[in-house]
């Protein structure tokens, strides 16, 4: 047996040997039917270390029926985005009861993210990628970390992008994705449902062939790609949670895309860089340079999307102090290691003007600076420098214990300024 799930191995990036292991698995179980692949994953490959993610959509009953055949207590995660059709929520209950599933768990988006990025609930309309990110990707990522693998209901026939989907995939964070239905055709799904008398999703008979969130799902015409009704009219076919393959299927979520260090981990950054010519009235998830904001203040304030502010050396933050709450994030630009003006800007923003949102460092962010950046109020770091990435991942940051120039109200000055230390100690 290939020991792909051995403890400790998961901490490493996928290497060639493990990718070869996955290829061998695919070779060994290529001919196996869906239940066999699922049983293999659940009982042999990843016992107690695998979860299922189900959309409870049009075809979900097939995979969930297989799960009920193998182990009714397996964790089944349902992304409760808050945007589902009421019929989907009913269907969750119907399938739970019909199949005897005992461990269906709803994953909700973080309420603070919703309040901050989608207070009106219409982000799907203006920025569906970000909407999927906060409603699906982030809640799922946090959960998936607890498992060595997860099982999906994806099938080759669904889109051309999924046309070479294998049974087993190795993700870039060294987990295994299992796709028991990879080789199922549309006809196989229908036959399976009939064979086991599985209940249909209530919307299926009304022309919904692939069912996700209500605002992003429409009826599919005869002969159309079954997923054509998802995000119709947009160049979007996936919600992002499946963008993490071994390179064979779709665009992998590249390591460098997880370049925002926040709350002790690297995450995908929802913000895009400002590009010359961008319109401050309509950009979203972009840090608008401070001089552009001053020039187009009214347009930015009327912009309905989440936006940030980019502060570069020489920018006068006092000019925007009354507008800071408009921004979801403030980026302090450090264009060169030797330029420390960003520290003062951050302190003004946080300490003097009381800004409570994300303050991030961008530009030349290096290992040695991070500790001081934190002291000045920065809570997130866009990291491009590989040794800095490694130091953060390994928890090996340089720390500062003796402050020649204390910041904030809590640091006690040492060394050459004992009179200041006494003042703080006595305060
Ligand atoms: S499918 Fe639509 S509503 Fe659902 S999370 Fe994605 S963009 Fe938002």
Residue nearest to atom 1 of ligand 1 (CA): 213
Its CATH class, for the domain covering 257-396, is alpha beta
For the purposes of burial, counting CB atoms within 10 Å of the CB of 327, is it exposed (0-12), middle (13-18) or buried (19 or more)?
A: buried
One pLDDT digit (tens) per residue for the chain, 427 residues:
334 433 333 434 445 666 667 667 776 666 678 888 899 889 988 899 999 988 898 889 999 999 999 999 999 999 999 999 999 999 999 999 999 999 999 999 999 888 888 888 988 887 787 888 889 888 887 787 788 888 988 877 655 545 557 888 877 667 788 999 988 888 898 999 999 999 999 998 888 878 889 888 888 777 776 666 676 665 555 555 443 332 222 233 333 367 888 878 887 777 778 998 889 988 877 899 999 999 999 999 887 667 899 999 999 999 999 999 888 889 999 987 777 789 999 999 999 999 988 899 999 888 778 888 888 899 899 988 888 888 888 887 666 555 555 555 555 555 544 555 555 455 4
Q: Is the Cβ–Cβ distance between 73 and 99 less than 8 Å?
A: no
Segment (H or E) for 388: helix 386-393
pLDDT of residue 6: 39
Domain boundaries defined on the chain: 9-253, 257-396
Distance 426 CA to ligand 1 centre (A): 54
DSSP H helix total and E strand total for the chain: 15, 13
Ligand 1 binding residues, C-beta < 6 A: 81, 83, 124, 128, 131-132, 135-136, 212-213, 215-216, 239
- Whether residue 239 lies in the annotated active site: yes
Give the DSSP H or E segment for 311. strand 308-311
Ligand 1 atom nearest residue 239's Cα: 6
CATH of domain 9-253: 3.40.50.620
Out of 213, 216, 239, 376, which one is annotated catalytic?
239
Compute the distance from residue 56 Cα to the ligand 1 centre, in Å.
15
Q: What is the whole-number distance in angstroms between the Cα of residue 144 and the centre of ligand 1?
A: 20
Q: Which residue has a Cα nearest atom 4 of ligand 1? A: 213
Going by C-alpha positions, the residue among 61, 28, 62, 60 that lies closest to residue 44 is: 28
Taking the C-alpha atoms of 343, 346, 351 and 353 in order, what is their torsion angle to the nearest 10 degrees? Answer: 140
Q: What is the CA(210)–ligand 1 centre distance, in A?
A: 14
């Amino acid at each position: 047996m290939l020991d792909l799930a051995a403890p400790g191995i998961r901490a490493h990036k996928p290497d060639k040997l493990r990718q070869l292991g996955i290829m061998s698995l695919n070779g060994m179980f290529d001919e196996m039917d869906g239940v066999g692949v699922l049983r293999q994953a659940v009982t042999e490959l990843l016992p107690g270390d695998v979860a299922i993610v189900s959309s409870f959509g049009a075809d979900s009953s097939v995979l969930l029926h297989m799960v009920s055949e193998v182990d009714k207590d397996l964790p089944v995660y349902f992304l409760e985005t808050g945007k589902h059709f009421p019929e989907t929520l009913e269907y969750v209950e119907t399938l739970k009861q019909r199949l005897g599933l005992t461990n269906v768990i709803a994953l909700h988006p973080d309420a603070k993210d919703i309040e901050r990025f989608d207070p009106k609930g219409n982000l799907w309309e203006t920025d569906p990628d970000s909407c999927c990110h906060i409603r699906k990707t982030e809640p799922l990522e946090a959960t998936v970390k607890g498992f060595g693998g997860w099982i999906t209901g994806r099938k080759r026939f669904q889109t051309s992008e999924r046309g070479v989907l294998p049974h087993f995939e190795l993700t870039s964070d060294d987990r295994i994705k299992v796709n028991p239905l990879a080789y199922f055709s549309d006809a196989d799904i229908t036959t399976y449902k009939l064979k086991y008398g599985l209940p249909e999703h209530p919307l299926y008979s009304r022309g919904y062939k692939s069912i996700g969130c209500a605002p992003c799902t429409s009826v599919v015409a005869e002969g159309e790609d079954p997923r054509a009704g998802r995000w119709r009219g947009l160049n979007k076919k996936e919600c992002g949670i499946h963008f993490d393959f071994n390179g064979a299927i779709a665009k992998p979520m590249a390591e460098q895309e997880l370049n925002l260090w926040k709350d002790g981990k690297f995450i995908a950054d929802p913000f895009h860089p400002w590009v010359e010519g961008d319109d401050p009235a309509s950009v979203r998830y972009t840090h608008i340079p401070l001089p552009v904001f001053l020039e187009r203040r009214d347009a930015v304030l009327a912009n309905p999307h989440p936006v940030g502010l980019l502060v570069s050396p020489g920018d006068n933050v006092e000019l925007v102090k009354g507008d800071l709450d408009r921004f979801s994030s403030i980026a302090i630009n450090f264009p060169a290691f030797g330029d420390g003006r960003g520290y003062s800007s951050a302190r003004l923003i946080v300490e003097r003007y009381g800004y409570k949102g994300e303050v991030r460092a961008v530009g030349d962010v290096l290992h040695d600076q991070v500790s001081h950046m934190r002291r000045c109020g920065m809570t997130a770091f866009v990291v491009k420098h590989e040794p800095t990435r490694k130091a953060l991942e390994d928890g090996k940051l340089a720390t500062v214990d003796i402050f020649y120039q204390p910041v904030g109200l809590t640091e006690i000055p040492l060394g050459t300024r004992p009179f200041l230390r006494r003042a703080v100690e006595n305060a």
